[in-house]
A and B are shown apart, each in its own frame.
Chain A
Amino acid sequence: MFKSHKKHVMKNSENVIEVENVSMDFYRRDEKVDNLKEFFVRLIKGKLEKKKERILENISFELKKGESIGLIGHNGAGKSTLLKIISDILQPTEGSVRTHGVIAPLLNLGAGFDYEASGKENVYLNGAILGYSKRELERKYQEIVEFSELQDYMNVPLKNYSSGMVARLGFAIAIDVEPQILLVDEILSVGDENFRRKCAAKIDELRKKGVSFVIVSHNMDQIRNLCQKALWIENSHVMGYGEVNDICKQYEAYCASIVDKDKNG
Chain B
Amino acid sequence: MSDFEKNGQVTEGATELASDEMTPKEKKEEKKAQEKRESREEFKEWLFFQKKELVKNFNIVKQLVIKSVKVQYRNSVIGIFWTILNPLLNMLVMYLVFSNMFGRGGGTWVDGNTYTLYLLCGNIVFGMMRTATYQALPSLVYNRGLLTKNKMSYNVFPLANTLSAMVNFAFSFIALLGVMLVVWIQGNAVFSWNILLALVVLPALFLFCYGLSLVLSALYTFFRDIMHFYNVFLTLWMYLTPIFYSVTMFEGKQGFLNKFMYIVVKCNPMTHFVDYFRNVVYRCSAHAGAIENIVAQGGIAPPEFIEAATLPGFGTVAMLYSIGIISTLIGAIVFMCTKRKFIYNI
Contact = CB atoms under 8 A, between A and B. Distances in A.
Given A107-B149, A111-B145, 9 more contacts: A34-B222, A105-B149, A125-B67, A128-B56, A128-B60, A128-B63, A129-B146, A129-B152, A130-B150
A118 to B, nearest CB: 8
B225 A37 contact: yes
A139 interface: no
Contacts of B39: 1-2
7 contacts: A5-B50, A27-B344, A34-B224, A112-B149, A117-B70, A124-B63, A127-B63
What are the 7 tightest A-B residue pairs by CB atom distance, in nearest-first order? Answer: A2-B46, A112-B146, A128-B59, A111-B145, A125-B63, A128-B60, A36-B225
B151 interface: yes
A103 B344 CA distance: 22
Contact of B49 (A5, A32, A127): A5
Contacts of A128: 56, 59-60, 62-63
Given A117-B67, A125-B64, A84 B59 contact: no
A146 interface: no
A21 B344 CA distance: 22
Given A114-B67, A116-B71, A5 B46 contact: yes
Interface string A125-156: 10111111110000000000000000000000
Interface residues of B, number: 38
Interface string B45-80: 110011010011001101110110011001000000
B338 interface: no
Interface of A: 1-3, 5-6, 8, 26-27, 32, 34-37, 39, 84, 87-91, 100, 103, 105, 107-108, 111-114, 116-117, 121, 124-125, 127-134, 157
Interface of B: 1, 39, 42-43, 45-46, 49-50, 52, 55-56, 59-60, 62-64, 66-67, 70-71, 74, 143, 145-152, 222-225, 340, 343-345
B42 A2 contact: yes
Contact of A88 (B59, B151, B222): B151
A127 B59 CA distance: 9
Contacts of B71: 114, 116-117, 121
A34 B223 contact: yes
Contacts of B55: 133
Contact of B343 (A89, A116, A127, A133): A89
A103 B225 CA distance: 37
Nearest to B229: A36
B145 A89 contact: no
A108 B144 CA distance: 12
Contacts of A134: 59
Given A35-B225, A130-B150, A116 B59 contact: no
A35, A84, A129: most-surrounded residue (chain B CB, <10 A): A129
A108 B146 CA distance: 10
